[in-house]
Structure formats: structure tokens, C-alpha cells
Structure 1
Amino acid sequence: MADTTNNLPPRYLRTPEAARFLGLSGRTLEKHRYFGTGPAYRRIGGRVIYSVDDLQAWADLGTKHSTSDPGQNDLLPREGSAFAQSRK
């Protein structure tokens, strides 16, 4: 029998499930999406979905090893986002 475990499609979550995955409120995740500071997302049929891999990668951006770590990898607005434009 062939191993099909590697042939599974990526897992996608809608906003409420993605927020729970990250330990955030749905509203917080929506604000990150609006300001361009959140994880990558897709819009399919008017619905917003997030890849589990994208959520994990975004969460990993905030990894620190001590409170004295410099501000590297802080979650900043994406270049060209409405929020980044308003901050100029």
C-alpha cells in the first residue's frame, strides 16, 4: 500500500480557528490583517483563510530568548500596507 501521508493538502483555517490556534481573539487577528502586521492569508469565495504553516511562521517571527533580546523580528507592518503608509 502506498504512503499517502505526504500527499495531504495544506490545512487551512478560517479566522476564528486561526485566532484560537494563535491564542488571540478573532478581532485581534482581523486588526493585524487590516494593518498588514498579521500572517499571510488567502481570500477564497469572499472568505478569509489562513494556512497553518503561515500561522506558525508568523508566530515564530516573535521568538525571543530573553527579555533583553533586541527588537529584531518584531511584528511590523508590511511595506506598502495602509498602516505603514500612514506612519510615514
Structure 2
Amino acid sequence: MQQTATHAEAVHAAIESMGGTVLVARALVEGGRRVDLEGLDRDATALCAAVLALGPEDARSLRPALEALLRQVNDLTAEVARG
């Protein structure tokens, strides 16, 4: 069980890290810079796989963080589309 908690904590940290990356990318786009989102797409795929590897209870506990990340990504997408 301890290993599962550690994995869930690592996934949560990855979600937060990706959120920070998305915020930086959005700031760059708002400043008129072009950003390459290919790496972000690759990281999102890995993050999804990590969430799927969790047990249902651990995965459910990450839902609020994942929903917040989704909002950040949607905001970035909208900003890129405006640019």
C-alpha cells in the first residue's frame, strides 16, 4: 500500500509540474512568443498512462488536480488560437 501512495504522490507532483509548465507557456504566448507544445503533448500522454496505472481510489483522489490542469490547458489552447 505504501508503494501505491508513493506512486500517487509522484503522479500528483507530475500534474503540478505540468501545470507550471502550462502557465509558463501561456505567459510566453500572451507575450507574443511562439511555443512548441509537442513536449507538453508527450508529457500529457505519459501522465495519463501513470494515472491509469493507479488504483481507482488513488486515481479519484487526483481528479481535482487533473480538472485544474485541464482548465489550464484549455486556457492555453484558447490563447494560442487567438495568437
- Higher alpha-carbon Rg: 1
TM-score of the aligned structures, taking structure 2 as reference length: 0.23
* RCO higher in structure (CA 8 A, sep ≥6): 2
Higher relative strand content: 1
TM-score of the aligned structures, taking structure 1 as reference length: 0.22
